[in-house]
Structure 1
Amino acid sequence: MTPFSSSAYATTLGIPTGLSPSPLFGVQPFTQPMPRFDVLPRKAFTFGAGVMNPIPAFPGTPGPDPTEQANVTQQPVPAVLGGGTGPVEGRPPGPIWAHQHWNDFPPKVTVEVTQEGAKPNTVYNPGVPSSLNSGIDASRPFRPAFHPDLPDQGPLALWTFNGTLPPKLLIGRYHEHILLRHHNRLPEDPTQNGGFGIHTITTHEHNGHHGAENDGFTGAYFFPGEFYDYHYPICHGGYFSINQGANDPRCGSPNDAGGIENLQGDFHETMSTHWFHDHMFSFTSQNVYKGNAGMFNIYSSLDRGNEEIDDGVNLRLPSGSANSYGNLDYDVNLMLADKAWDQDGQLAMDIFDFDGFLGDVMTVNLVYKPFFEVERRKYRFRILNAAVARFFKLALSDASPMVQIANDGNLLPTPVTLTTLDEMGIAERYDIVIDFSRYSIGSKVWMVNLAEHENGRRPIQDLSLRDAMSGASTDPCVGRFLEFRVVRDPARPDTSQVPELLVPNPDLSQIPVAAERTFVFGRGATQTTSDPISSFVGPWGIGTDGGGKLDADFGRISAAPRFGTREIWTLRNGGAGWDHPIHIHFEEGQILARNGRPDNVPAWERGRKDVYRLHPGTSVTLTMQFRDFGGMFMEHCHNTTHEDNAMLLRWEIDDAGGAFLRPLPTPIPTPQGVRFVDPTEVLPTAFR
């Protein structure tokens, strides 16, 4: 009966979910079109102009303008949450959690979203016509179901942005500062969760370059009835220290006329493909699995999203050309995730599997094994691994080449042509280009998963393409999962390119190394604190700079790099039986070595990254800078089951000037407001 034991289903039925097999109700694969993401509406913003209008779920007068510090206007708190009154905004109050550089980056665009239970989508906007969305009629309500012939998900089973499918896409461009207001509309009663998940949330814009108050810190969660204003400056790294004359058009943003607005900062730090998801302490895996995940395309002078502009700066990657930037015609987001559901067809999860939960049904963009219609030309696919614990290794069914142009949010220095991609860890993003002009009209080709799991610790093996497609694997998520149907020639010539040079890495060789740190990830952790809110005891943990492995406590400071410095961090896998994709918040890094050797770093990892996969018994050495913003950030395993149980630590930049204290006090949210306490522990090597 111990929750640390594997389920009998996993051992006797060959199903890795820990649950009974998910019923398909007679549904066959590749019988529904793959929906493109649902593009979030954007509004131009001017302070005091009354344009911060509530979205339809919030009828009435316009909402309050965003403020530099949290809005602590009081409102009634439901009795189930303790009664009394509490703030309308769940962001921790005061100057330490104020939006950094608010006057430098005033909001230009606002986006409002809710988090709520499943419902039909009556305002679906794919950003492309039906002909480029596999014939889907966006004017018809989109049901909250994984297939038209599967049951609708109930409002307690599926919790998504705006409560609807398909998953949401945020569009941004450099220096067009976004204010994202996130309303928590989940049930007030925490027991109303369909068996898993929790109604408190905190939204992480994965590896966004902004202050910690907008990072989705795991302990800065907010409650039903509250909102949280996230401020995304979308500036290049080094904005306040590099290229101060804004003289390099490669560090720029597309304007509405097809030109470039030059910006400060380092063009080498340009980012392209992000995602956003919940980061609630101890519940990240459950809340993300329930639907709290979307993607974020960022456009720049280099990555314009218009393939026809030929100005010597634009890379002209596959996209389209109708708009000056951000065309989605041939630039397609793919969210991969394994799911499981109960005998009623409702999303289900085994919350007692601490190795890593696996589903037995493959979804793409939150629908079951779809098809996608393509033209005979090049397409860019921004692929996200949004699973809980599953790795993917991707190939095309005919073993034809794909060109990888990005790893995580960052374009590579040079493209890499591959017939099989590397194993893709949870939260990694691989941008690839596939040229469908090599196929004739009427052809079909499939995307195939080669990574076979027996449990959530790691893939047990990578199969050959032939074996993966044979159907012999006991892992139901191995094999074909997305069908491409070549349906026509393009109406316009394909002018897109994959240039030989994409985005070179920053040269950090002249920046002194201020400190070196080592982090060891594995089992057998202990807990040295006892705070009932911020600490947790679990099987997983992290050891810092030679100390013992510790369970997560978001009140403990494990590292505190100095503002404006560069450090070298070594991440080490302390075990031989598991694989950890490690995510470091705020700054992407460059991998210097694997297992101590620079020549062990493959070509597709030679760009900047924010997720670093630690294979069993191996290490990764990387370098990072700490600039522009400060606050408390995180480092954790992105096998989100490991993170929640309790492979996560806090690090901070607390000498960035302004209102910062050293060390920073820890926020403790309640429905009646956020209080602050001193850190529960500061490791001896944190401050150097």
Structure 2
Amino acid sequence: MILLRGVSKARPRVTEVAAGKLAELVRAYAAGEVNRRDFIKLSLALSGGLYIPLHDLGPWGNQAFAGETNIPTGLPPSPLFGVRAFTQPMPRFDVLPRKAYAPGQGVMAPIPAFPGQSGPDPTEQANTTRQPVPAVLGGGTGPIEGRPPGPVWAHQQWQDFFPNVAVEVTQEGAKPNTVYQPGVPSALNSGIDPKAAFRPAFHPDLPDQGPLAFWTFNGTFPPKLLIGRYHEAILFRHHNRLPADPTRNGGFGIHTITTHEHNGHHGAENDGFTGAFFFPGQFYDYHYPICHGGYYSLNLEASDARCGSPTEAGGIDKLAGDYRETMSTHWFHDHMFSFTAQNVYKGNVGMFNIYSSLDRGNEELADGANLRLPSGSDKSWGNLDYDVNLMLADKAWDRDGQLAMDIFDFDGFLGDVMTVNLVYKPYFEVERRKYRFRILNAAVARFFKLALSDASPMIMIANDGNLLPSPVVLSELDEMGIAERYDIVIDFSRYRLGDKVWLVNLAEHRNGRRPHEDLSLREALVGKSDDPCVGRFCEFRIVRNPARPDKSQVPAVLVPNPDLSRIPVAATRVFEFGRGANQTTSDPVSTFFGPWGIKTDDRDMLAADFGRISAAPRFGTREIWTLKNGGGGWDHPIHIHFEEGQILARDGKLSNVPAWERGRKDVYRLRPGGSVTLSMQFRDFGGMFMEHCHNTTHEDNAMLLRWEIDDAGGAFLRPLPTPIPTPQGVTFLPPTDILKSAFR
């Protein structure tokens, strides 16, 4: 135990006592014995009389234990057990099996580990067949499906997009992976043998993560990749196999989950609404139609080959909608009310590649529509050979090597160890040719700014899963906010065999508010920063020449933006993100009590309540939304669900919008004191959606609001009732609050 200069020798003992009490408080909160408002108040009370910030009262208390090092986690430094960087191969994502779906033919077969638990065929409305509920969850019986029942939560456009493919996953504790499917041969996966059991560890020489420490899709490493193509509707059945006892969580996280398909264009019943969570022993059937925006209003004759889906024979199925709304790189993650940060950090995260006639995943097909981006060519679509998913996340672990998190840091939790695809500082073997990298920031609060160690150029082709109007050549990428996706192309043909080059992070953090500063490449490489996540974190090894010529391209024109200038503006709205929020409602399930909040149209700064309707744009209209940072030196990456936007101005001027932000986006970095003005359309589907900060610590501490489209026809003709889930079934309550400016 190392004390800071001038710190009383009694302080560690006081800190240990407080840490023990806080741990008990966390257990009581997880068990539902303490509501969120009392949890925050008691947490603050436990810090009384101590000379350290609240987040330093996490499991150990960093200022009492960490000495004079600058570790921004709020925890002691993560032990590396002698492990060195770049001594393990980076695994490609684990591709989820796809099953052709036909009702009544036994396709929804049981998962081997849970015989009989796969359940019946999916249905348009939630399946309310009853099953026993464990005593720890209240006993009695409850529905097998956690989706709220009835027509309001029925799958929209079910018959138009009847599922062609079923994908089935579980959420469960970490275990070895004996069925790893990288989707590429071992030579293109840095020599990893997919037949060998893949341990749930951040490095072969680090301890395995225990089943309470890490909760992943199917319980296994590497992270999972969902593969889809336009108009091939997917039925994504998610089983909750987490412990029924909520206190068996390894110190953080909650066993109720709701899966958000980030940037998905589909009905709210499939969006992972924060209040539509489900319990252990239940499943939830998510329906992903994968259609272009404007499917019911534009290009109805389906005459444009650029708006289409790849066929198995190498052709194109032409579709309705706007080809300029084509999306490519999504991800999916938990969105549990007030626990998103903890559950995502704990392993509830995957990526989703979407293929189209434009973005075929076959670099050799030259048909006038296919952009021929780096991918491969063995299959007609969806080749992954040279199309690589990278998930960046900072982590921290305790003295036993088990994942740890300081849940009392309300500015934003930071880890002190860099991982790529859930492994510590790996290497990746590449050929001398072009590669596409789909990069996801899956951190809780950390921003990244990426460069190559030799300052050579990267070609940015997409932002937030949307191909840009034109590629942008950069030697350093912009700061990458949490949840943003940057697709880049790196041409390794400029290197010699045996060369190495590294991805480098230039963004230094001292806390979770925002990056403290961006270092120069030289400063990051020589180790100027005390932030352990600055510097080299992924090594590329150039190991061979390609076996066949590289025919991939990066065209000068990718996907132009839709022209919205002729669509009338139905309303303008202003949302300000800041601290000091009030809570005007008191429902114990749907309300947050926390320091963060959102002000709508110059009204009060309000803490989150998923029963409150803050905006209700009319179906089929366009609106102008301005997102403002309330100040205080924070940065907020704001995510708006369901519809992408086009940035019209940054800080009031179009000239302030850089080239890489001039495509369509779903995450909008406000920057300290800044604002973003954007154009939004509301089409095709309806229901209740969300808007929130994707610094998930901020989101979980009240920087979230609900908006809805409730006049889309069918069941949506008035303000929607709020679902209140329990293990015994979902009930509905009227909205707790409707802001006067919501309906216009």
* Superposed pair shares fold, TM > 0.5: yes
Q: 1:55 is aligned with what amino acid?
A: I
Deviations 1:603-654 (A, max 9, x none): 0000000000010111000001000000000000000000000100000000
Distance 2:117 2:104 in 1: 13
Alignment counterpart, residue 30 of structure 1, candidates 86, 94, 97: 86
Give 2:405's match in structure 1, choosing from 343, 349, 355. 349
Partner of 2:77: 21
> 2:55 & 2:410 partners in 1: Cα distance?
9
Pair 1:9 & 2:62 matched:
yes
Cα distance change of structure 1 residues 338 and 61 upon mapping to structure 2, 3 Å threshold: closer
User: 1:78 aligns to what?
Assistant: 134
Q: 1:321 aligns with which of 377, 384, 389?
A: 377
- 1:248 to 2:304 alignment: yes
Deviation at 1:52, TM superposition (A): 1.1
**Equivalent residue pairs, number:** 688
Q: Which one of 541, 553, 567 corresponds to residue 497 of structure 1? A: 553
1:457-516 CA-to-partner distances (Å, cap 9, x unmatched) read 000000000001111211000000000000000001000000000000000000000000
Find the counterpart in structure 1 of residue 594 from structure 2: 538
How far did 1:140 drift? 0.3
CA offsets 1:341-393 (integer angstroms, 9 cap, x no match)? 00000000000000000000000000000000000000000000000000000
Amino acid at match of 1:208: G
SS at match of 1:459: coil
Q: Is contact 1:51-1:62 (8 Å) kept?
A: no
State the AA in 1 paired with 2:323: F
CA deviation vs aligned residue, 1:533-589 (integer Å, no higher than 9, x gap): 000110000000011110000000000000000000000000131000000000000
| Residue matched to 1:210 | 266
AA in 1 matched with 2:715: A
CA contact (8 A) 2:55 2:406 kept: no
> How far is the alpha carbon of 1:61 from its aligned partner?
8.0
TM-superposed deviation, 1:56: 2.0
Residue pairs, 1:111-126, within 5 angstroms: 111-126=167-182
How far apart are the structure 2 equivalents of 1:576 and 1:192? Answer: 37
Which piece of structure 1 moves more, 568-577 or 424-433? 568-577
Matches within 5 A, 1:653-668: 653-668=709-724
Q: Which residue of 2 aligns with 1:65?
A: 121
**Given the alignment, which residue of 222, 227, 244 partners 1:188?**
244
Mapping for residues 519-534 of structure 1, pairs under 5 Å: 519-534=575-590
- State the TM-score, normalized to the length of structure 1: 0.99
Q: Determine the C-alpha separation between the residues in 2 that align with 1:478 and 1:61.
A: 45
Which secondary structure does the structure 1 equivalent of 2:660 belong to?
helix
The Cα shift of 1:662 comes to 1.2
Identical pairs, percent:
82
Asked if the contact 2:69/2:530 (under 8 Å) is kept, the reply is no
Aligned mate of 1:384, from 433, 440, 459:
440
Structure 1 equivalent of residue 391 of structure 2: 335
* Separation in structure 1 between the aligned mates of residue 55 and residue 519 of structure 2, nearest angstrom: 24
Q: Tell me what 1:272 maps to.
A: 328
User: How far, CA to CA, are the matches of 1:302 and 1:325 in structure 2?
Assistant: 11
Matched, 1:632 2:688: yes
Listed one character per residue, the Cα deviations across residues 289-348 of structure 1 (whole Å, up to 9, x for unaligned) are 000000000000000000000001100000000000000000000000000000000000
Structure 1 position 49, deviation (Å): 1.4
In structure 2, what residue type is equivalent to 1:31? T
Name the CA distance, whole Å, in 2 between partners of 1:81 and 1:667. 18
Distance 2:529 2:513 in 1: 18
User: Which secondary structure state, in structure 2, belongs to the residue aligned with residue 403 of structure 1?
Assistant: strand
Q: Which moves more between the two structures, 654-663 or 219-228?
A: 654-663
8 A contact 1:120–1:142 mirrored in 2: yes
Structure 1: distance between partners of 2:120 and 2:439 = 36
Q: For residue 494 of structure 2, what is the amino acid of its counterpart?
A: R
Q: Does 1:375 align with 2:431?
A: yes
- 3-state SS in 1 of match to 2:527: coil
Match of 1:166 in 2: 222
Secondary structure of 2:291's partner?
A: coil
Q: Deviations over 1:54-76 (max 9, x none)?
A: 22222248630000000000000
Length-normalised TM-score, structure 2: 0.92
In structure 2, C-alpha distance between the alignment counterparts of 1:596 and 1:557, rounded to whole Å = 27
Confirm or deny: 8 A CA contact 1:588 1:624 kept in the other structure. Answer: yes
Q: Which amino acid aligns with 2:62?
A: Y
Could you say which residue in structure 2 is the equivalent of 1:432?
488
| Counterparts of 1:70 and 1:169, CA distance in 2 | 26
Are positions 1:100 and 2:156 aligned together?
yes
- Evaluate the alpha carbon distance shift between residue 666 and residue 61 of structure 1 in structure 2; reply closer, same or farther with a 3 A threshold: closer
Partner in structure 1 of residue 361 of structure 2: 305
Mapped to 2, the partners of 1:389 and 1:56 lie a distance apart of: 37
- Do 2:259 and 2:332's aligned partners in 1 also have CA atoms closer than 8 Å? yes
Q: Which residue of 2 aligns with 1:593?
A: 649
Corresponding residue for residue 457 of structure 1: 513
Residue type of the alignment partner of 1:623: S
Residue 629 of structure 2 is aligned to residue 554 of structure 1: no
> How far apart, CA to CA, are the structure 1 residues paired with 2:582 and 2:726?
27
Q: Per the alignment, in what secondary structure is the counterpart of residue 147 of structure 2?
A: coil
After superposition, the C-alpha distances for 1:438-463 in whole angstroms (9 at most, x for unaligned) are 00000000000000000000000000
Q: Hey, what's the Cα distance between the residues in 2 that align with 1:144 and 1:492?
A: 35
Which whole-Å CA distance do the structure 2 matches of 1:295 and 1:408 have between them? 12
Distance 1:577 1:25 in 2: 37
> Partner letter of residue 407 of structure 1?
N
Letter of the structure 2 residue corresponding to residue 678 of structure 1? P
Equivalent runs, 1:279-298 vs 2, <5 Å: 279-298=335-354
Describe the SS at the equivalent of 1:471.
coil
**Contact 2:305-2:318 at 8 Å conserved across structures:** yes
Unaligned 5+ segments in structure 1 are: none
Equivalent in 711, 726, 741 of residue 670 of structure 1: 726
Question: Residues 501-520 of structure 1 correspond to what in structure 2 (within 5 A)?
Answer: 501-520=557-576
Shift of 1:13: 2.7
Q: In the aligned structure 1, how far is the partner of 2:607 from the partner of 2:262?
A: 23
- Are the structure 2 counterparts of residues 477 and 259 from structure 1 closer, same or farther at C-alpha, using a change threshold of 3 Å? same
5+ long unaligned stretches in structure 2 = 1-17, 19-43, 48-52
1:126-148 deviation digits (Å, cap 9, x = unpaired): 00000000000000000000000
Give the counterpart letter for 2:54 in structure 1: S
Give 1:6 deviation, angstroms. 4.0
Secondary structure in structure 2 of the residue aligned to 1:569? strand
User: Greater share of helix residues, 1 or 2?
Assistant: 2
- Aligned equivalents of 1:520, 1:264: Cα separation in 2: 36
Provide the residue aligned with 1:136 in structure 2: 192
Task: Measure, in 1, the Cα distance between the counterparts of 2:551 and 2:170.
Answer: 39
